[in-house]
């Protein structure tokens, strides 16, 4: 399986994450990729291939122009305003303040374009986000060229990013960008399976009223887990998209067998839908020792996850999302791909 990767992701190396009232070293860190590359190599899963650069128009089909402009200029504006630390929002257009106006000062813009406050922005954050989307596009192209599987080893991740908001460590929704590219290049119906521990709120919102993408997610119940405000079972799609959104919120302590029963339901729904390609938002934060999550999947069980995903027998594009047990993420990721190829 071709693996699309660039070491340049490490330019996004923020020093701060607002967590528990403290500024800690971010869970979504560059080291994650080192461990993944090492395990992929050890398992001989495929060649690492550099991404090509695609026109920005592919990303502009998913994200709004004003959001992307904000992303590109955020760090310069924050510094020009004399701020000392990394860019973190502190004010939001909350339920009681509903003016549609977008503020001009960077502090106001941050809250407008942020859906959460844990994700700091610094020099090269935007650059790495764009690079990450080019990794997803290059991988999607590989599927368009006829490969039956490909892995976009992208960082920063994307599934929390919506049309015009960042957060949850995500800036550009790589899975959504790749999905749109597949639809623009010969595929008709995309099954988008999000197996990250957290609900893929951004991806769901982007495709919620569309029937050319069937989004399904298995995740920690949002009554207790980030992103809290989306991801419930009653969210089934809207308009033309009604019936093409399937959420499986699960409680803390969920084991692999309980998890797999939900994946089975999603795969049955994808088959009935008539999907001709699958995109997997591959988060490994369902791991038993993940520091910020609460499922109980074991390293060996990721082999079964890969095998199960392969049973759909569709061309499959894997896109890296979360996973924060840094020393185990390599083998967990490699096992999914190994299981898939078996």
Binding footprint of Zn ion on the chain (CB under 5 A): 196-198, 283, 285, 322
Quick check: 290 binds ligand Q9C (CB under 6 A)?
A: no
Number of residue whose CB is nearest ligand Q9C: 322
Q: Cβ–Cβ contacts within 10 Å for residue 79, how many?
A: 14
Which of ligand Q9C, Zn ion, none lies near 226, with the C-beta cut-off 5 to 8 A by kind? Answer: ligand Q9C
127 contacts 301 by C-beta, under 8 angstroms: no
Q: Minimum Å distance from CB 225 to ligand Q9C?
A: 9
151 contacts 1 by C-beta, under 8 angstroms: yes
Q: Are strands 245-250 and 2-4 parallel, antiparallel or unpaired?
A: unpaired
The rounded distance, in Å, linking the Cα atoms of 74 and 292 is 27
**Closer CB to Zn ion, residue 235 or residue 285?**
285
How many residues sit in the footprint of ligand Q9C (CB under 6 A)?
Answer: 15
Site residues (CB under 6 A) for ligand Q9C, limited to 62-101: none
Quick check: 285 binds ligand Q9C (CB under 6 A)?
A: yes
Element (H or E) spanning 319, and its range? strand 316-320
Chain position carrying tokens 């490909």: 150
Q: By CB under 6 A, which span of 164-172, 244-252, 267-275, 311-319 interacts with ligand Q9C?
A: 164-172
299 contacts 7 by C-beta, under 8 angstroms: no
Quick check: 262 binds ligand Q9C (CB under 6 A)?
A: no
Beta-bridged to residue 280, according to DSSP, are 193, 318
Q: By CB under 6 A, which span of 58-66, 126-134, 165-173, 231-239 interacts with ligand Q9C?
A: 165-173
Quick check: 30 binds ligand Q9C (CB under 6 A)?
A: no
Return the structure tokens found at 203.
């991806």
DSSP per-residue string spanning 54-72: --THHHHTTS-HHHHHHHH
Q: By CB under 6 A, which span of 47-55, 133-141, 162-170, 243-251 interacts with ligand Q9C?
A: 162-170
The rounded distance, in Å, linking the Cα atoms of 332 and 325 is 10
Distances (CA, A) of 12 to 122, 130, 155: 8, 11, 9
Listed residue (266, 247, 250) closest to 258, CA to CA: 250
Q: Minimum Å distance from CB 291 to ligand Q9C?
A: 8
Quick check: 157 binds ligand Q9C (CB under 6 A)?
A: yes
The rounded distance, in Å, linking the Cα atoms of 180 and 58 is 8
Listed residue (316, 339, 216) closest to 273, CA to CA: 216
Quick check: 202 binds ligand Q9C (CB under 6 A)?
A: no
Quick check: 19 binds ligand Q9C (CB under 6 A)?
A: yes
Choose which of 51, 283, 315, 330 interacts with ligand Q9C (CB under 6 A): 283
**Closer CB to ligand Q9C, residue 168 or residue 222?**
168
**Which entry of 9, 160, 198, 199 is annotated as an active-site residue?**
160
Cis bond before residue 227 (omega within 30° of 0): yes
Choose which of 48, 269, 292, 326 interacts with ligand Q9C (CB under 6 A): 292
Site residues (CB under 6 A) for ligand Q9C, limited to 302-341: 321-322
Which of Zn ion, ligand Q9C, none lies near 170, with the C-beta cut-off 5 to 8 A by kind? Answer: ligand Q9C
**Closer CB to Zn ion, residue 65 or residue 224?**
224
- In 3-state terms, what secondary structure has residue 91? coil
Contacts of 84 (CB under 8 A, 6+ apart): none
Quick check: 226 binds ligand Q9C (CB under 6 A)?
A: yes
User: Annotated catalytic, 160?
Assistant: yes
Binding site for ligand Q9C (CB under 6 A): 19, 118, 157, 160, 168-170, 196, 198, 226, 283, 285, 292, 321-322
Catalytic positions: 160
């Amino acid at each position: 399986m071709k693996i699309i990767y660039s070491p340049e992701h490490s330019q996004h190396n923020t020093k701060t994450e607002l967590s528990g009232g403290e500024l800690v070293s971010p869970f979504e860190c560059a080291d994650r990729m080192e461990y993944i590359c090492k395990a992929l190599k050890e398992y001989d899963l495929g060649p690492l291939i550099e991404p090509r650069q695609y026109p920005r128009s592919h990303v502009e089909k998913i994200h709004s122009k004003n959001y992307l402009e904000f992303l590109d200029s955020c760090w310069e504006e924050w510094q020009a305003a004399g701020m000392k630390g990394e860019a973190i929002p502190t004010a939001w257009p909350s339920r009681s303040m509903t003016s549609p106006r977008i503020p001009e000062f960077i502090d106001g813009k941050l809250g407008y374009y942020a859906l959460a406050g844990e994700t700091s922005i610094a020099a090269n954050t935007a650059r790495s986000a764009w690079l990450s989307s080019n990794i997803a596009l290059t991988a999607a192209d590989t599927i368009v060229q006829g490969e039956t599987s490909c892995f976009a080893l992208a960082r920063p991740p994307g599934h929390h990013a919506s049309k015009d908001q960042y957060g949850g460590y995500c800036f550009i929704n790589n899975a959504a960008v790749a999905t749109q590219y597949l639809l623009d290049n010969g595929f008709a119906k995309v099954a988008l399976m999000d197996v990250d521990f957290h609900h893929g709120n951004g991806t769901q919102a982007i495709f919620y009223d569309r029937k050319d993408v069937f989004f399904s997610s298995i995740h920690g119940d949002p009554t207790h887990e980030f992103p809290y405000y989306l991801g419930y079972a009653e969210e089934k799609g809207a308009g033309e998209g009604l019936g093409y959104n399937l959420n499986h919120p699960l409680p803390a302590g969920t084991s692999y067998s309980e998890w797999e029963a939900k994946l089975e339901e999603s795969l049955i729904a994808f088959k009935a839908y008539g999907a001709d390609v699958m995109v997997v938002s591959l988060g490994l934060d369902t791991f038993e020792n993940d520091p910020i999550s609460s499922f109980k999947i074991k390293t060996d069980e990721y082999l079964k996850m890969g095998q199960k995903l392969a049973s759909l027998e569709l061309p499959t594009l894997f896109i890296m999302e979360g996973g924060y047990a840094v020393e185990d993420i390599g083998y967990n990721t490699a096992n999914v791909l190994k299981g898939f190829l078996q």
